[in-house]
Amino acid sequence: MSAFMSAFASLVGALADLLQPLFQHASTAAAIVLFTALVRLAVHPLSRAAARGQKARTKLQPQIAELRKKHSKNPDRMQKALMELHAKEKVSPLSGCLPSLLQMPAFFLLYHLFSSQRIGGEPNSLLGHELFGAPLGERWHHALSEGGPFGPQGLVYLGLFVIVAAVATFNYGRTKRQMAANPMTPATGPDGQPVPGMGAMTKVMPLMSFLTLVSVAYVPLAAALYIVTSTTWTALERAYLYRETPAAEAAVAPAV
């Protein structure tokens, strides 16, 4: 693990060196944003596949409802028929989970890198790198103790909070508009049955984006940059990929 972390630290350092002529003292922060964008770009084909799968599952709902009606007295036969239908149409119920799962190692690597005092037996020099005076290895409470919420370091976090709040508001507004345009669209599971509580969940899920504010305040600034970049990418990506998807179906699609 130590050797792996050393290699990852070297990668971040190399990206920072590459960006240093453009971003000067903020080159390491820019490297983190670039690293995040590269991760999301690598996962994007899976996100597109997940969106196609979600749309395909939506189109199958009439056939699923018919199978459910036909085999209502034989649950085992109904489940077998549903599996055969998904296999025939090449639709996987689990395909949407892959983009989120593949991003997790990248985030935890970055979190560990900027939470460790030593890497490979040597002091972690990356902890001293800054973004407009705010050390990448410190957290919001450190910024508050160094000048308050409107001090030089506090303003960096304030900027991140504003971005997260704007993205969350964008997500909320987009979902509300989709719901208004598709008020009668039911949220159903693989068996065609309405998903219990999905109506309430559809209304609550957009608000979950605002919880990202808590994550940004808690993790090291470097990890916060990853979260903010990835969250913004997700909002724009989902707005494009699910632009024709009814609100209730888009709500149950994994937030990648």
Domains of the chain, by residue range, sit at 2-252
C-alpha to C-alpha distances, 19 to 7, 61, 99, 114, 222, nearest whole angstrom: 19, 49, 27, 19, 16
Is the separation of the CB atoms in 15 and 31 below 8 Å? Answer: yes
Reduced to 3 states (helix: H, G, I; strand: E, B; else coil), residue 28 is helix
pLDDT at 66 over 90: no
* Helix or strand (DSSP H, E) at 88: helix 75-88
Is the separation of the CB atoms in 187 and 61 below 8 Å? Answer: no
Sign of the torsion angle spanned by Cα atoms 193, 197, 203, 206: negative
| Dihedral angle over CA of 15, 20, 22, 27, nearest 10 | 70
| Global confidence as pTM | 0.78
CB atoms within 10 A of CB 253: 20
184 pLDDT tier (thresholds 50, 70, 90): very low
pLDDT in tens, 165-174: 999 888 888 7
Is the separation of the CB atoms in 254 and 46 below 8 Å? Answer: no
Across the range 182-197, mean pLDDT stands at 49
Is the separation of the CB atoms in 91 and 57 below 8 Å? Answer: yes
Across the range 218-228, mean pLDDT stands at 95
97 pLDDT tier (thresholds 50, 70, 90): low
Q: What percentage of the chain exceeds 70 in pLDDT?
A: 71
Highest mean pLDDT among 110-119, 196-205, 240-249: 110-119
pLDDT at 4 over 50: yes
